């Protein structure tokens, strides 16, 4: 009797990313309110524009647009010389106007890429500019452990505060410049996502356009996750070639507003397993927006996911289209600093450092600049780049609290050898040999390493650095 045919399923994750980066401009995107909102008293950095009051007109922040284009250039994007802002319409309490000013079909940047260490290229679909929303805080006013108690929130007039569930809105963040960076679904596992995000954070910090501090919400991560199915059908005891659909899955699940690399890895791995279990039952996962719960250590459903046409995009009538010339883009490109990958390659080539040292020294632009200045100063004192790299890495030097010249001075001083009188050295050697007869016996019986123990004991008797080779020769002469 022929064996029954069975179908084995294999699932390949298909992951794309949306990353929101808050720019550190002095003012908001479409008004002159301060964008330095973090930790400030709620609703103190507001005006009619960012509160969405009738008749208030937006004026675009030129510096924010310039920085958005610099991010796009750093990601190898094509720059649209003609761009515009659009209204993204949806109703939610954190959006006072009932719409968000964003970009739809003419973003500032498109068709870029980032290359991972493996050589895999992650395609960047678009880099566009928009305004941030207000911040919602949910909880119970009467709960002593609630964040609301610390904020001093009050209940609506005539209602008790006792364990009343409320949501409070802080409009300080509303209107802060936000750059959204959208990839194609090119990731196949969480490790690739983490590497990409670390590179992206490093780039925006090198550009000095954002602090990209995820704990403060400067950089928020939103993976889109689905599974592609490969069917492998055994036939009469033999496997035939797997059949894989080259089309993208018919659904995707977006996990919103994750604020750490660790949590985004956990969220992706959880979603892959959750969706796999659903597909194994012959069902299809619901296309929805989910959130990451740090308490439950899992994703939780929030709402069904909207499509672009649900937002009823149309051009923003209060802001005219924005035009740039090729010369303006070239000028911006010339003003950009050396980016991390280019600096990494140059450090390897120019300073003959290894991969490990170079990777650490180029993580932060401030440390890389500090190292280069120390190398320049060190040339006059015969201090090598490798000596400087070792000192910076091993001593974990903080560039903000040290000077390159002082680091070079420390290296020079640590390498200086104090000359000593022969009689003084002879006396100390005699004392050490008499006090360490076992080591002396070991050396005389052929254990060459014993002499280094004796050298160390002699050098410990001096408060300054002395020449170890002189000590070693003196001991060898005495023992012979």
Residue range 395-448, pLDDT digits in tens: 899 999 999 999 999 888 877 656 677 788 888 999 999 999 999 998 888 888
pLDDT at 158 over 70: no
- The larger pLDDT score, comparing residue 109 to residue 155, is at 109
CB burial readout 98-123, b (16+ within 10 A) else e: ebbbbbbebbbbbebebeeeeeeebe
Domain count, the chain: 3
Prediction pTM value? 0.81
Same domain, residue pair 181 and 239 = yes
Confidence of residue 180 (pLDDT cuts 50, 70, 90): very high
Whether residue 400 is contained in a domain is answered as: yes
Same domain, residue pair 114 and 245 = yes
Residues spanned by the domain of 452? 422-479
Question: Among 323, 358, 378, where does a domain finish?
Answer: 323
Same domain, residue pair 195 and 296 = yes
Same domain, residue pair 286 and 377 = no
Mean pLDDT over 53-68 rounds to 97
Same domain, residue pair 58 and 97 = yes
- Judged by phi (left if over 0) then psi (alpha if -120 to 50, else beta), residue 350 lies in alpha
Same domain, residue pair 240 and 380 = no
Whether residue 165 is contained in a domain is answered as: no
Same domain, residue pair 450 and 405 = no
Whether residue 140 is contained in a domain is answered as: no
Same domain, residue pair 301 and 350 = no
Average pLDDT, the chain: 88
Question: Among 323, 357, 385, where does a domain finish?
Answer: 323
Question: Among 375, 395, 415, where does a domain finish?
Answer: 415
Whether residue 398 is contained in a domain is answered as: yes
pLDDT at 350 over 70: yes
Q: Would you state the pLDDT for residue 304?
A: 81
Q: What is the pLDDT of residues 287-309, one digit of tens each?
A: 999 999 989 999 999 888 767 67
Q: Would you state the pLDDT for residue 279?
A: 93
pLDDT at 156 over 80: no
Same domain, residue pair 427 and 410 = no
Whether residue 329 is contained in a domain is answered as: no
Same domain, residue pair 243 and 380 = no
Confidence of residue 474 (pLDDT cuts 50, 70, 90): confident
Confidence of residue 148 (pLDDT cuts 50, 70, 90): low
Same domain, residue pair 82 and 215 = yes
Whether residue 114 is contained in a domain is answered as: yes
Whether residue 161 is contained in a domain is answered as: no
Whether residue 149 is contained in a domain is answered as: no
Same domain, residue pair 23 and 127 = yes
Q: What is the CATH number of the domain that holds 463?
A: 1.10.10.410
């Amino acid at each position: 009797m022929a064996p029954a045919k069975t179908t084995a399923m294999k699932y390949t994750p298909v992951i794309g990313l949306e990353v929101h980066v808050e720019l550190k401009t002095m003012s908001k995107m479409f008004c002159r309110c301060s964008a330095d909102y973090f930790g400030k008293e709620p609703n103190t950095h507001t005006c009619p524009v960012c509160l969405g009051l009738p008749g208030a007109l937006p004026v675009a922040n030129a510096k924010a647009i310039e920085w958005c284009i610099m991010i796009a250039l750093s990601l190898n994007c094509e720059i649209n010389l003609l761009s515009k802002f659009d209204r993204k319409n949806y109703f939610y309490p954190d959006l006072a106007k009932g719409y968000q000013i964003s970009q739809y079909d003419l973003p500032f940047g498109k068709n870029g890429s980032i290359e991972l260490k493996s050589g895999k290229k992650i395609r960047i679909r678009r880099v566009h500019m928009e305004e941030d929303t207000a911040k919602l805080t949910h909880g119970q006013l009467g709960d002593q452990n609630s964040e609301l108690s610390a904020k001093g929130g009050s209940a609506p007039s005539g209602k008790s505060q006792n364990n009343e569930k409320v949501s409070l809105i802080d409009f300080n963040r509303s209107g802060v410049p936000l750059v959204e960076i959208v990839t194609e679904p090119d990731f196949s596992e969480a490790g690739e996502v983490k590497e990409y995000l670390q590179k992206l954070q490093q780039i925006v910090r090198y550009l000095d356009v954002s602090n990209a501090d995820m704990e403060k919400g400067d950089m928020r991560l939103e993976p889109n996750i689905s599974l592609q199915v490969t069917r492998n059908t055994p036939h009469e005891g033999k496997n035939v070639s797997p059949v894989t659909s080259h089309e993208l899955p018919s659904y995707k699940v977006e996990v919103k507003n994750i604020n750490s690399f660790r949590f985004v890895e956990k969220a992706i791995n959880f979603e892959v397993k959750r969706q796999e279990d659903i597909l194994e039952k012959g069902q299809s996962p619901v296309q929805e927006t989910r959130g990451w719960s740090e308490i439950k250590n899992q994703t939780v459903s929030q709402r069904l996911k909207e499509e672009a046409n649900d937002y009823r995009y149309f051009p923003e009538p209060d802001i005219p289209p924005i035009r740039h010339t090729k010369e303006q883009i070239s000028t911006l490109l010339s003003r950009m600093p050396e980016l991390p990958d280019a600096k990494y390659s140059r450090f390897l080539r120019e300073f003959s450092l290894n991969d490990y040292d170079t990777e650490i020294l180029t993580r932060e632009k401030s440390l890389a600049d500090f190292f280069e200045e120390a190398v320049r100063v060190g040339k006059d004192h015969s201090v090598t780049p490798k000596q400087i790299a070792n000192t910076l890495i091993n001593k974990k030097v903080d560039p903000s609290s040290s000077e390159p010249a002082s680091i070079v001075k420390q290296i020079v001083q640590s390498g200086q050898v104090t000359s000593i009188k022969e009689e003084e050295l002879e006396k100390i050697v005699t004392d050490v040999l008499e006090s360490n007869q076992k080591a002396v016996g070991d050396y005389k019986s052929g254990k060459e390493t014993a002499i280094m123990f004796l050298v160390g004991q002699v050098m410990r008797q001096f408060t300054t650095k002395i020449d170890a080779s002189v000590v070693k020769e003196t001991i060898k002469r005495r023992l012979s």
